[in-house]
Structure 1
């Protein structure tokens, strides 16, 4: 976990030009807006040889330490910044640099500022040994205090970032992006080769591989970082009435596209089967359409941050009706047709944690044929992941809205259902099994699927009557034929729900969720079917 002075944990680094700390600050912050928060570092009682190394490093790099901290503006928004200077002893972190980082996070917390950090470091400083090594704990504690205040922490990993830096403040961002081709990892390749007598496998510790494996959200060139930071801060900025009005189209009545329960179509077998068939149309709008046409801004994220990524997951920060929110969606499409597995729900739970840490609502979008039925899913703990997802949603200390967009089969759907408000498209449905599967269990054939679907109260009208769904958005025309209109109507309903639940205290939300699901009942009309 330690890094040699002037090198990245002993890494054999490819020859390349590195972006300096001052170049990065100039590139990402508004011109002339940077204000340093640094005070002169004290070397303390150190050997003369090390004191000479510090002086030489300062002369070579043009900085007085391996970390520069301060504040600036990105498109006019204040942000605290901490940037590594690799030219100063390989960006290694000694006690003086650690104290700067702790002071940066604590001041940002006190002033309510987001933090943008950009490490480029081999780890902790060899010359200071164990005290420098242990200073990573103090930095992590300061990051935690900042996160507990509900403030955004954005990380831009630069080449190279390894050792204790990667294993502490480099891996704790709410959003983490990296420089193309950057060497990123825990153990430096040269250390590995020295210990094991063979080279470290090629292509593992590079930014693109980390993104593919769900460890970081994106790979972004330095000249595009300002736009990424601006988008994140814009999405996460507080809601205002003007934002709400601008983002919710005035489009006519019904303002939020809501259906009167008495006007919903009868839910006999033929009608229910028509609805199920409509949701299986491959052209039916997905969560991506909902946000494309209904959100004012979207920033996709990727993976669990812990080495897993499911292609069926759509995880993003978004702005709906002026409200910042985390969106967790089941992404349908031919290339994502496989059932969801345990990694999907672990990624969904990252979204739940983000909403709680950032103190913004969570929107879950349900559209799934069901969870995976496989050895891998069983050994990966699918049942436990469903249980944990349900439990976290019931106790989540932020407002929540769930959206039944289309298909809602089995535990994969149930895992994202609990919410303060649940909105359903008129043709959406929710069932313990696919109707054909229920028919196979009861009748040993699939011929009774439509009949059983109606009897099991899977349709939106029955779900509303049972107290499971709060709002039904009508589909007077085919959603597949008119994806823009359908998506905007759904987005207006979500926006209205977000405005309602965001006005309620957390204690009221938690109590209301428990009461809601305790009061679920059979629809009164079921006896007549």
Structure 2
């Protein structure tokens, strides 16, 4: 067994801030044997039930907390503990508090049977309603968490992390062995394996949990007040007038004064493509490391998939919070972006909308995976679904063209309320060599094809696809820190404007591609 609920309270919460919300449990008429079990459990655990609830502060922020006490009948959920848990979730929702859950349970209390089992429906509904109110629900899966608890409030987090080496799964291994006459395979129901399969966002020691919660809540605290609706005129203006006109920072379609901003020197198409492919060019990881703060990496679809070619993270650029969906050029050199990564991006969009955060997509890809596995995984359909999700997501969106932009894998990350591009970024239906092969039967005409197809950021700016271009002086690879900081400044500027105006309409997002 891991830490008790009392030990976790002492370790994670600000000292002296814990206030219990619990009232004495009520059981009604119960068998004497069960009453004796409860008495022994109270003595052993030092709590009056398997769940303790209350509020406290983490890094000074008020937080509602629900924790299992495994020493009380293996943390099992009966009707009394379910009532306590539901009451705490509903109070957190009423009071507008973020909710931190720390389950450690074997599941439903067998002494109460099905009447206890069906309480998971009510618990799941209460948690879902809390999330629907735009309030954070953070889950720390402790050792062990199985059964109905894992299949309800343990698996509904906006952000879910797990205790190292924790036993986590649906069916307890002892039950499996009794039912099947053989032990459950080792290494499956363990936190680290769940992370490898994209089922949890991280594996975090208890003494690092407070810092993680602080970063998440710090990002979310920067959101504008709920219910701030933008008018149609505000949304149109955000799509046409950037707020920065400094040509050392970015090149914009129009300056705030209404005139055209200065443009960079003419860019040779093939030279830009060559520069974008430099192995030392800063990618999304460098951008997050240099220009972002309070980065909280997330992981996977939550449904058994993850793609190392996609970075999904909560972050802030200056005072602007966001959820980042970034194509990772380093990982894609070994494993191209596959259907799993696109499904992971879709999870990120839903998460951002649920939390009221803008989405920042980062395009930097040599192309989506071209393989039998990708085809069997439905990559074409996932590109289509990602496009549809990004066009329709009900939260502000910003696309950053950072480098290479090959094919449907790049296009899926493009449609947004605002589009920013690095000076040497580009977008093409195929790698120029591929386009040359189709038209000329060889790759010798790649530079010619790239020029003819108008793939550069500056070409896309002329037709209204790109709003702002971030200058490279002369090449991002030669000035990685300065370049990333310039990009970060532009992203903060754009995000703050989007947070004021609100999300654009899907038709407006799509209209920019008509011209």
Under a length normalisation based on structure 2, what TM-score does the superposition of the two structures give?
A: 0.92
SS of match in other structure, 1:333: helix
Instruction: Kindly indicate whether the alpha-carbon contact (under 8 Å) linking 1:256 and 1:496 is maintained by their aligned counterparts in 2.
Output: no
Equivalent-residue separation in structure 2 for 1:161 and 1:369 (angstroms) = 41
**Which residue is equivalent to 2:355?**
358
Equivalent-residue separation in structure 2 for 1:340 and 1:124 (angstroms) = 40
Whether 2:310 is the aligned partner of 1:317: answer no
Shift of 1:380: 0.6
**Which residue is equivalent to 2:200?**
216
Whether 2:277 is the aligned partner of 1:280: answer yes
**Which residue is equivalent to 1:520?**
513
Equivalent-residue separation in structure 2 for 1:83 and 1:261 (angstroms) = 56
Instruction: Kindly indicate whether the alpha-carbon contact (under 8 Å) linking 1:258 and 1:493 is maintained by their aligned counterparts in 2.
Output: no
Equivalent-residue separation in structure 2 for 1:281 and 1:493 (angstroms) = 23
- Alpha-carbon displacement from aligned partner over 1:427-484 (angstroms, at most 9, x marks no partner): 0000110000000000001111111111111101111111111111111222112110
Q: For 1:286-435, what aligned pairs fall within 5 Å after superposition?
A: 286-333=283-330, 336-435=333-432
Instruction: Kindly indicate whether the alpha-carbon contact (under 8 Å) linking 1:361 and 1:399 is maintained by their aligned counterparts in 2.
Output: yes
Instruction: Kindly indicate whether the alpha-carbon contact (under 8 Å) linking 1:468 and 1:517 is maintained by their aligned counterparts in 2.
Output: no
Shift of 1:505: 3.8
**Which residue is equivalent to 2:233?**
none
Q: For 1:447-458, what aligned pairs fall within 5 Å after superposition?
A: 447-458=444-455
Instruction: Kindly indicate whether the alpha-carbon contact (under 8 Å) linking 2:308 and 2:331 is maintained by their aligned counterparts in 1.
Output: no
**Which residue is equivalent to 1:78?**
62
**Which residue is equivalent to 1:41?**
25
Under a length normalisation based on structure 1, what TM-score does the superposition of the two structures give?
A: 0.90
Shift of 1:375: 1.1
RMSD of the TM alignment (CA)?
A: 1.7
Whether 2:480 is the aligned partner of 1:483: answer yes
When residues 334 and 416 of structure 1 are mapped into structure 2, their CA distance, relative to the original with a 3 A threshold, is closer
Equivalent-residue separation in structure 2 for 1:20 and 1:384 (angstroms) = 46
Instruction: Kindly indicate whether the alpha-carbon contact (under 8 Å) linking 2:332 and 2:365 is maintained by their aligned counterparts in 1.
Output: no
Shift of 1:334: 6.0
When residues 521 and 262 of structure 1 are mapped into structure 2, their CA distance, relative to the original with a 3 A threshold, is farther
When residues 354 and 80 of structure 1 are mapped into structure 2, their CA distance, relative to the original with a 3 A threshold, is same
Name stretches of at least 5 consecutive residues in structure 1 with no aligned partner. 1-16, 241-250, 523-529
When residues 334 and 95 of structure 1 are mapped into structure 2, their CA distance, relative to the original with a 3 A threshold, is closer
Equivalent-residue separation in structure 1 for 2:141 and 2:88 (angstroms) = 18
Question: How many aligned positions are there?
Answer: 490
Shift of 1:262: 5.7
Whether 2:250 is the aligned partner of 1:257: answer yes
When residues 18 and 76 of structure 1 are mapped into structure 2, their CA distance, relative to the original with a 3 A threshold, is same
